[in-house]
Structure formats: C-alpha cells, structure tokens
Amino acid sequence: MLLRTENISKQFNGIYALKDINFEIRPGEIHGLVGENGAGKSTFIKILTGVHRADEGKILWEDQPVVIHTPSDSRKTGINVIHQDHVLIPSFNGIENVYLGSEYPVKNGKVDWKAMYDAVEAKAKELRMDLDLQKTADELTPPQKTCLEIIRAMMHECRLLILDEPTASLTEKETEILFAIIEKLKKQGTSILYVTHRMEEIFRLSDRVTIFKNGELSGVVNTAEIDKDGLIGLMTDQWKSEKIKRESTQGEVLLEAEHIASKDGVVKSGNIQAHAGEILGIYGLGGSGRTELLETIYGYRPIKDGTVKIGGKQMTSLSPQNSIRNGMVLISEDRRGKAMIGSLSIKENILLSCIDRYSRHGVLDHKKEGTDAQEKADALQIKMAGINQRAIELSGGNQQKVVFAKAMMTNPLIYLCDEPTQAVDVKTRAEIHKLLRKKADEGSAVVYVSSDLKEILEVADRILIMSGGCTKEILENQDLSSNDVLACCYRE
C-alpha cells in the first residue's frame, strides 16, 4: 500500500471535522474521494499535505509511519496537491512558477537560468506536455495552468498527486486534455487522489471511491460495482425537511435575473425569479457558482451577459451602489473582507451604506447617527460594550448582526444572503432565520445561499439547484429529502 491512514481525527473548537478516518491508496491507482459539502474532504487533504495536523491517528507511507507537519514534509514524502484555484504568480513565466518553493540552481554565484529551463523542459517532454515556458501564468489557458502545476509537482519525486476539483473552471475540451494527462500519470505509476463533486468524472476515471459523511468514513467501494444512486446514498443521511407547511404568500416578482454570465466564466447561465414573501434557497455543491451568481447580480463581480430587473425595472448599470439605491443588499459570505470594517466602530459600520442620509451642508448629524444606529443594534440584540466599540472586538455572531443592521438601514426589498449563518452560534443562527422569515412575511424577497443542505431544507420555500455555473430546476420545499436535492445536483 502506498499510503494508509489509521484513525485520523481532527477537531475545531471541540467539534469533529474528521473522526477515525481509515483510508488507503494503492500504487498507480486513481482513487476518488466524494462527500457532501462539509463532509471533511478538504480537512483530510490539508492533513495529508501538512496544512493541518491531525489530533489523533497516524499516516503510513509504504507501511512505515511518517510525520507530516508542514507542506515541505508532504512534498519530501512524495505527496503533491493541485488545488481548484491555481497557485501561480501571474507575472512569473512558466520556469519561475515551476521553481516556486524550490532552490534555484547556481553557477558562478549567479542563478543558472539555462539549467532551470532545461530541467523544466525535460520534465514537460517526459510528460508530453506542449507548453511555452516563457509565457507568464497570466497568458496561459486554464488547462495550461493545470499542466504547469503538474510539471511543478512532478519535478520532485511525486508518488501521490492530489487533484482537488481540477475541472471546476475548464471547458469540455480542456477537461479532455486533463483526463489524458491523468491517464499518462497513472501509466507511469503515479497514484492520483481525485476529489470532485462531478459523478461522471468519478465513474470515468477512478478505480475505487472513498465516501465521507459528516466527517466520518461512510464507505470504500470499487467504482465498477456501484452506481450514482448508490454513491449518493452513502453520502447523505437521507435527512428530510421538517419545514412547516405555510400558506402561500408569494407575491410579485421583485428580482428577476436572466441568462447571467460573469466575465470570469464562473457563472455561465444564471436565472432567478424571487418573489415578495418568499425565501428562495440556492443550493449547489462546491464550485457550482452560487456565491459568484449573487455577486454578479449585485454588481460586485463584472457581468458578461444577462439582465437584472428589480421590481420590474431593468438595471442599466450593475454596481453595489445602484443595487442599494434600488432596494437590493448583499450579505456577503466574507464578513470581515467584504461586509464590515473591523477597525471602525459598531455605529460607523451600521451607517456605512447610508452615511449621506445624515449629512446636511457637509456636516454630519452625529446625534441622529447615534440614535438610529443604537435603535438597530437594540432591535438585533447586539451584545456590545457600547455603540462606539470597535466591531472587530465582537464575537462572530454579533459581527454578523452588525452586517445585518447595516443592510437594514437602507430598507431593502431584496436580501441576497450568501452563507449568512457561517461561523455563528446556534442561537444567532436561529435569530437570523427568524429575522429573514419576518422580512419575507413583511413583503421582501430573500435569496438564501448555503452550503448546509439541512439549513436550506429548514428555511427555504423553494430551492433553486445550481451546478457547473448554471442554474437548474426549482424544487418546492415540501416533503423534500436531502437525497432528492443531491440527486438533482449530480444530474447530468
């Protein structure tokens, strides 16, 4: 056996992300790894590559225990990883990017660029990859970037190559190029751990599949001996929605987005109709484009094609400023990076989107600012020392309440919520659900993105499925099970 793990466990804040994982991969094997969002796949990869340390258990390499505490330890062992997002420096050429993290050869006290070029070119020819190594990473196509990272991985003695969602940003033609490369590596004896949400790729490439569920090992199967429904069954708890049936209060269409495509190509075809009085859930697996769709509609991410209408009025220019003016707000997944400024006070953060409202002849009305901000903070029960406390000093849940307070200051009709309960406690999560339901009942439209399938089944009235950058079917959330939703995500 090339690699084996015994009882690997990892906790974060007292909660198991992985528990008692026993995994093995054989020499020259393509081994699939699948599981729902949050099943523990990324944590497992990070342990194998030295980003995280396991709390319990051990890793064996060719039946001998090894210590992997850093990425360098992992590479020296013979393990390399290629992430979904390319780890390349855009302005560096192919040679420079291949040598990232490696020692440059030196001749007569100077960097030996010729030796570097010859070494990289020789490896590219060995792998039968035709690349212009003088081009910068910025000039390469997505599959060429993947090829460059494979060359970098194979420059060292790479016995196990981990590919994490490698086709997420590739076209069908580019995907075929990658598959041909993977088959070549397999013939050379390299083991591949292939992590993906795309079932068709698992069945096409892998010899065996390991399934994670809720941080635990759910099963290991020979790919030829199982079908898609069988895999999905091993991935899910078959959890059923316990959502209380409500009388339909669906009103007019407040948000209509048609044929949305982002300039970066992540969103290929997004279509949304969100009605007054409803919470429209959007669910998709990792890399499906959920976040990017909301950001494109909001105007944060540049749009390539498509139209957005708010209350029947077509938006001629998409930008956060115009969205707010027309009654639409975005609760971003990246709370600290995009939704608040930690060094500012709670009051200043709450007023960020409407500060002009308090200015008269260039002078701010500080008294009214304080009164209004305090009113919103009290309404959301933000636990704080005072309205002038720095936002960064609050707990995660209370920071998220500040973000909601800021959004509510503009009296929006449409709430675009991207993972709004991420990293908050159970009580705050319930309060956010209650708040959004109240807003929907008052006539707003809520678009709710979550990677937590149970949460989507709990809060959404309808669920829009997203896969591969495209929106698919809409499911009415009555008596839906997690299997029903996942089956739609994996439908080709």
Sequence spans of domains, the chain: 3-235, 253-490
Q: At 97, which amino acid appears?
A: N
pLDDT tens for each residue of the chain, 492 residues long: 999 999 999 988 788 889 999 999 999 999 999 887 678 888 899 999 998 999 999 999 999 999 999 988 998 899 988 877 678 999 999 999 999 878 888 988 898 999 999 999 998 888 777 788 899 988 887 778 888 888 888 887 889 999 988 876 666 777 787 888 888 889 989 999 999 877 888 999 999 999 998 889 999 999 999 988 888 888 876 665 555 555 556 789 999 999 999 998 889 999 999 999 999 999 988 778 899 999 999 999 999 999 999 999 999 999 999 999 999 999 988 777 888 898 899 999 999 888 878 777 777 778 888 899 999 899 988 888 888 999 888 877 888 899 999 999 989 999 999 988 876 766 778 888 999 999 999 999 999 998 888 889 989 999 999 988 899 999 998 888 888 888 888 765
- Strand order in 30-34's β-sheet? 79-82, 160-164, 191-195, 30-34, 208-213, 216-222
| Amino acid letter, 461 | D
Q: In what order do the strands lie in the sheet with 15-25?
A: 15-25, 3-12, 56-61, 64-66
Pairing status of strand 160-164 against strand 79-82: parallel
The β-bridge partners of 213 are 216
Rounded distance between C-alpha atoms, residue 339 and residue 341, angstroms: 7
CA 104, CA 136: separation in Å to the nearest integer? 18
Is it true that 3-235 and 253-490 share their CATH fold? yes
CA distances from 419 to 12, 32, 154, 263, 470 (A): 19, 28, 37, 23, 19
pLDDT attached to residue 240: 59
Q: What is the CATH number of domain 3-235?
A: 3.40.50.300
Rounded Cα distance between 400 and 384, Å, is 13
In angstroms, the CA 435 to CA 242 distance is 19
Check residue 423 and give its pLDDT: 67
Fold held by 253-490: Rossmann fold (3.40.50)
Residue pair 274/414 in contact (Cβ under 8 Å)? The answer is: yes
- The predicted pLDDT at position 238 comes to 64
Spatial contact of 33 and 193, defined as CB atoms under 8 Å apart: yes
**Block residue for tokens 């970098």:** 152
Return the axis-axis angle of helices 396-408 and 426-441, rounded to nearest 10°. Answer: 10
